[in-house]
């Protein structure tokens, strides 16, 4: 029987830089991966805005504009050319 555990993590409460996450099954490490945390230096980024054009994305010759959403704390696609 498979049991799944899922949750949301606010990664900004951890220090910036490289970290290691480990999956334990029955007390043994089943998987281990390194990852990097980058951020704005605060738990919830307030009062910032901006957009950026990703050239040659998703295909060569195309572009995608992403814009920061404070409410979502993430970038969202606002235009594709």
* Number of folded domains that form the chain: 1
| Full DSSP string of 53-70 | EEET-SSTT-EEEEEEET
Q: What is the pLDDT of residue 40?
A: 75
Asked if the structure places residue 10 within a domain, the reply is: no
**Residue 4 forms part of a structural domain:** no
pTM of the model: 0.57
2 domain-assigned: no
Q: How far is CA 2 from the centre of its chain?
A: 27
**Which residues in the chain belong to E strands, given as ranges?**
17-25, 28-37, 51-55, 63-69, 74-80
Residues of the domain holding 34: 15-80
pLDDT one digit per residue (tens) for the chain, 81 residues: 666 777 788 888 888 899 999 999 999 999 999 999 988 778 888 898 999 999 999 999 999 999 999 998 889 999 999
Residue 53 placed within a domain:
yes
Tell me, yes or no, whether 59 lies in a domain. Answer: yes
Q: For residue 32, is it within any domain?
A: yes
């Amino acid at each position: 029987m498979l049991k799944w555990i899922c949750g949301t993590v606010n990664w900004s409460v951890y220090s910036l830089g490289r970290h290691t996450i480990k999956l334990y099954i029955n007390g043994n490490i089943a998987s281990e991966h390194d990852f990097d945390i980058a951020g704005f230096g605060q738990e919830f980024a307030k009062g910032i805005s901006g957009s950026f054009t990703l050239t040659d994305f998703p295909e060569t010759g195309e572009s995608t504009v992403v814009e920061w959403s404070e409410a979502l704390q993430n970038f969202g696609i606002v235009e594709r050319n």
